[in-house]
Amino acid sequence: MAGIVRRDRFDILPEPFRRFFEGDWESSWLRVEEYQEGGDMVVRAELPDIDPEKDVEITVSEGVLTITAERQEKSEHKEKSSYRSEFRYGSFSRTIALPEGAAQDAVSASYRDGVLEVRVRVPEHPAGGPTKIPVTRS
C-alpha cells in the first residue's frame, strides 16, 4: 500500500489543542518544592525566562508565603512568503503555609538560572510545642 501516509492522532488538531493533549498544559503552572535547610524553610519555584525584579511579587502575611509571577513571551517567525507572531502570557500564584513561628521579617529571595529561591527563617523548635491537656472526671 504505497502512498498511504499515517498521521499521529494529534496532527489534525489545532496547535493549542495539540499542546494540551501532548502535555504542554502542565508547563503553565507555577511548580514549587519546599524543604528545611538548617534554620530555614526553603521554597524553590521554577520560573524560566522572566525578569524577577519586574515580574515577581513575594509577600508574607499571617503565616502564609505568596509568590505571584507574570510571564509574557512573544515569538515571531518571518519567512519570505509568510509572517507569524505568537504571544503566551499569564499570571500565576502559589500560596504556601509557613511553619508556626516563622519570622516574617527574616525572608530573603534570589533568582538564578530560571529558579526563584525564597528562604524564611523558622525556629528549630516551635515556641511552646505541643501542650498536653489533662482530662478530669466530673
The CATH class of the 31-121 domain is mainly beta
Residue 135 CA, chain-centre distance (Å), reads 45
pLDDT of residue 127: 58
Set of cell numbers at residue 34: 519546599
Q: Are 75 and 86 in contact (CB under 8 A)?
A: yes
Q: Which of 23 and 112 is assigned the larger pLDDT?
A: 112
pLDDT for 2 beyond 60: no
What pLDDT, in 10s, does the model give residues 70-81?
Answer: 877 777 778 888
Can you name the residues that pair with 127 across neighbouring β-strands?
none
Adjacency order of strands within the sheet including 83-97: 56-61, 64-78, 83-97
Can you name the residues that pair with 74 across neighbouring β-strands?
87
pLDDT of residue 102: 87
Q: Are 83 and 69 in contact (CB under 8 A)?
A: no
10 falls in which pLDDT band (50, 70, 90)?
A: very low
What pLDDT, in 10s, does the model give residues 103-126?
Answer: 888 899 999 999 999 999 987 665
Set of cell numbers at residue 59: 509577600
Set of cell numbers at residue 89: 502570557
19 falls in which pLDDT band (50, 70, 90)?
A: very low
Q: Give residue limits of the domains in the chain.
A: 31-121
- 49: how many CB neighbours lie within 10 A of its CB? 9
